[in-house]
Amino acid sequence: MSKENYQFAIKSSIVPIVEMSPDGIYVTFKPGAKAAKTIVKRRWPVVAVDLDKNDEVIGVECAPAPAKFTLMSIARDAGVRVPEKSAARAEFQNIEKLHAVA
């Protein structure tokens, strides 16, 4: 039985935004927040966690994008615990198609 090892936790009930592009995936937990630092959890494929000045998670990057994934699998790889209620409400966006419409 594997034991989950989380270094960070999402405390807010905000709806996560999962942005997908050919280059990778970015999950936003705090829209509009600026990253004060980035912690690289894995070099290949890249998994990184952006933190604000209070060390709260604002986003998680995964590049390149895996062929199959869930929000929870990306968060788990980054060591981020996401409340199940928040994960269930996540919005998935294809960035290329959003920019093509704009």
What confidence tens digit (pLDDT) does each residue in 1-39 have? 345 567 999 987 889 999 999 889 999 999 999 999 999
- Mean pLDDT over 61-81 rounds to 93
Amino acid 100: pLDDT: 58
| H/E stretch holding 64 | none
Residue showing tokens 């998994």:
47
Residue showing tokens 């959890």:
41
Integer Cα distance of 11 and 22 in angstroms: 30
pTM: 0.87
Buried b (16+ CB within 10 A) or exposed e, 41-62: beeeeebbbbbbeeebbbbbbb
